[in-house]
Amino acid sequence: MTMVLLAPFFAIILFAFIYPIGNLLSISFLEPSPTLDNYARVVTNPIYALVLARTAWISLLVTVLAVVLGFPVAYFMTRVNGAVAALVAACVLLPFWSSVLVRTAAWAVLLQREGVINTILLWLGVTSEPLRLLYTQGAVVIAMTHVLLPFMILPIYGALRNIPDDYMRAASVLGAGRFRAFAEVMLPLSLPGVWSGSILVFLTALGFFVTPALLGSPQEMMIATLVSQQVREVLDWPFAAALVGVLTLFVTLIAMIFSKAIRFERLMGSSA
């Protein structure tokens, strides 16, 4: 009975994900005969290797920033009630109600040469001329962090909500200060949520396209932008498929490492 109920789900996964990915990867090996030349280009060409390394580095930066910014918000959400809690939850969930394109365009308006940020800096006398904020790696990292922050906050919030308040009170009774109780009780118990949010943010950032394409420069290209370039401009589908294959392999390896290191139930914030 369970398999019958799950059949539509598996059918969607098969036809909407597995079949297209498998068909695309097959193109990377057949040109016109079976070959690994496209994958050799990805690994041996320093330009493409740099794009892969940059993609991983930017994804890591975004993940770290999301943890630093998201943990205090998630902690605050567990300490408020009523209208304040509803307001904070609405602010966290608001990005889900607008497209990534709209949020990225908003950052472009803020970061442009005559944008709000440069205007404020000039008005305060911090700088004597507008700074180059747009089309930089910093712009990409900031905008991606903003877009992906809810994916970090919600898992951490779920983990913190499952920590009984009695644990912190018990630590206080035993002589632990507020900081020590947080560092030795709450923080370790919240790590499943932190790891869950980190893997969600990191793996999503690896394949990000809209934000790097609009806010980054050609010198700061990420792998999704490179794939788009190979398909739309160069028309080199086999090589683009090889890039997708390398990215898919990397994502799969990261997911397997996390699944082996942390139980799935703990990743989802379960108290089991």
**What pLDDT score does 27 carry?**
85
Class of residue 20 by CB neighbours under 10 A (exposed 0-12, middle 13-18, buried 19+): exposed
**What pLDDT score does 56 carry?**
92
Structural domains of the chain sorted by starting position, each given as residue range(s) with its CATH number in brackets: 46-267 (1.10.3720.10)
One pLDDT digit (tens) per residue for the chain, 272 residues: 677 888 888 888 888 888 888 888 888 887 667 778 888 888 888 889 899 999 999 999 999 999 999 999 999 998 888 888 888 888 888 877 888 888 899 999 899 888 889 889 888 888 888 888 889 999 999 999 999 999 999 999 999 998 888 888 888 887 878 888 888 888 888 888 898 899 999 999 998 998 998 998 887 889 999 998 898 888 888 899 999 999 888 888 888 877 776 654 454 444 44
**What pLDDT score does 270 carry?**
46
The whole-model pTM stands at 0.86
**What pLDDT score does 198 carry?**
92
